[in-house]
Amino acid sequence: MTATPPITPEAMPIPRKLPQADHKNLVGLTRPQMHDALIAAGTPEKQARMRVNQVWQWIYHKGVRDFGAMTNLAKDYRALLAEHFTIDLPEVVSRHVSADGTRKYLVRIAGGHEVEVVYIPEEGRGTLCISSQVGCTLTCTFCHTGTQRLVRNLTAGEIVGQIMLARDDLGEWPEPGRAPKDETRLISNVVLMGMGEPLYNFEAVRDAMQITMDGEGISLSRRRITLSTSGVVPEIGRTATEIGCLLAVSLHATTDEMRNKLVPINRKYPLDQLFAALRAYPKLSNSERITFEYVMLKDVNDSDADARRLVKLIQGIPAKINLIPFNEWPGAPYERSDWARIQAFADILYKAGYASPIRTPRGEDIMAACGQLKSATERSRKNRFEIAAEAGLPQPERIVRRPDAPDVH
């Protein structure tokens, strides 16, 4: 059965809620963190475990945002919670629906920064593509996000909040006692393939994914979460042991020389180091296979020789190769490979025994396709100062480059 997302208007401006500085947001706290926070707010230690269970279910299983609605808690305790905490999600600034059903949400986080979240409905599944950072400190030359200078790590709450707000929009909080199975859910899969390099924000991503996988809440299995990295080698082992989700790697080239140009982090962690970490991943995480993402750039990385080198490189690793036709953006220095070339490339991989689906570009008309995420942010940034003025907020911070950004230009 394929569920259909509800049809609603194209753009949905929602007034900004001012953050309550003296209230702690419960969204994004891990169970132990919530436990400590409830005790600090006056919950008797002996009750804390039970209270965490109850509040957790209300927030992550039922999608409730109002402490007053938590009917299995005594009125006094609900009041105590409301006095100390909030249940806050990032704010949806606009939502666009593509002709192909893809939805792109522009989401504003504290400080006025914005990230994008993309929902891709497909036959029998629905994938939510979430962001881990505002912008990206890496500068892959084919990626629009990489041209954005502003970078800030998202908090765990802002990461899991993206899943929760998409569930709100899709009307997908389960009825009590009727939790849908993964495969019948509108959001059956989550991919960390939006803006940012998730492994440069490891702890927040880990906590958010642990909350997402928790069986008492959103309860998505770890095999339905895919984290995509450009190859932050030191964190790959931790991803296996501390998250255990599926891994995708933005490979895009088969020699160090070319990968240095396309994915500059390769200068720090070249192919031999990357592949040593990848070879250990399946065993460490007990997952079946690694996805290799490969963007098809005309006359750059799309020859038969590249395809053959790719086969050699991944030999012995249980793998799937995702060929991504390059998605153009204004000013991009590359072109998309011709269709016949992409198919010839795929054919070589297929004959070598690899599944190599060619990713159909989705949501191109709304700039929601891979690597296009940025423009809506940039557009809206033009009037961010106006937005702040209208909402009676302090003027947003000026754009700064993260001081610890790697020197990989």
Cβ-based nearer residue to ligand SF4, 59 or 192: 192
CB of 231 to ligand SF4, least distance (A): 9
106 sits near ligand SF4 (criterion: CB under 6 A): no
Q: How far apart are CA 242 and CA 5, in angstroms?
A: 33
Contact with ligand SAH (CB under 6 A) among 193, 246, 253, 307: 193
146 sits near ligand SF4 (criterion: CB under 6 A): yes
Q: How far apart are CA 60 and CA 191, in angstroms?
A: 19
Q: How far apart are CA 154 and CA 162, in angstroms?
A: 11
CB of 247 to ligand SAH, least distance (A): 10
In eight-state DSSP terms, residue 319 is E
Q: How far apart are CA 271 and CA 358, in angstroms?
A: 23
Name the catalytic one among 129, 136, 245, 370: 370
CB of 225 to ligand SF4, least distance (A): 17
Contact with ligand SAH (CB under 6 A) among 34, 143, 274, 346: 143
In eight-state DSSP terms, residue 400 is -
Binders in 218-257 for ligand SF4, by CB under 6 A: 230, 250
145 sits near ligand SF4 (criterion: CB under 6 A): yes
Given ligand SF4, ligand SAH, none, residue 370, with its beta carbon under 5 to 8 Å by kind, binds: ligand SAH
Element (H, E) at 357: none
Q: How far apart are CA 370 and CA 165, in angstroms?
A: 21
The answer for 353, left when phi > 0, alpha when psi is -120 to 50, beta otherwise, is: left
197 sits near ligand SF4 (criterion: CB under 6 A): yes
Instruction: With CB under 6 A as the rule, give the number of residues binding ligand SF4.
Output: 11
Amino acid at 276: A
Contact with ligand SF4 (CB under 6 A) among 73, 140, 191, 247: 140
CB of 369 to ligand SAH, least distance (A): 7
Name the catalytic one among 91, 116, 158, 235: 116
Contact with ligand SAH (CB under 6 A) among 142, 269, 292, 354: 142
Return the range that interacts with ligand SAH (CB under 6 A); candidates 81-89, 225-233, 277-285, 374-382.
225-233
311 neighbors 350 (Cβ within 8 angstroms): no
List, in sequence order, every beta strand (DSSP E) within 276-409: 290-296, 319-325
Give catalytic status of residue 122 as yes or no.
no
Q: How far apart are CA 357 and CA 326, in angstroms?
A: 14
Q: How far is CA 216 from CA 38, 125, 204, in A?
A: 18, 22, 20
Cβ-based nearer residue to ligand SF4, 86 or 255: 255
211 neighbors 160 (Cβ within 8 angstroms): yes
Instruction: Please enumerate in sequence order all residues whose Cβ is within 8 A of that of 409, keeping only pairs 6 or more positions apart, or say none.
Output: 139, 264
Q: How far apart are CA 223 and CA 219, in angstroms?
A: 11
134 sits near ligand SF4 (criterion: CB under 6 A): no
Determine the residue with CB nearest ligand SF4: 146
250 sits near ligand SAH (criterion: CB under 6 A): yes
Pairing of strands 225-229, 189-192: parallel
Determine the residue with CB nearest ligand SAH: 371
CB of 90 to ligand SF4, least distance (A): 19
> Measured in whole angstroms, how far is the alpha carbon of residue 120 from the centre of its chain?
13
Return the range that interacts with ligand SAH (CB under 6 A); candidates 24-32, 68-76, 142-150, 236-244.
142-150
Give catalytic status of residue 143 as yes or no.
no
Judged by the rule CB under 6 A, the positions of this chain that interact with ligand SAH are 136, 140, 142-144, 193, 197, 228-230, 250, 293, 295, 324, 326-327, 370-371
What residues are annotated to the active site? 116, 370
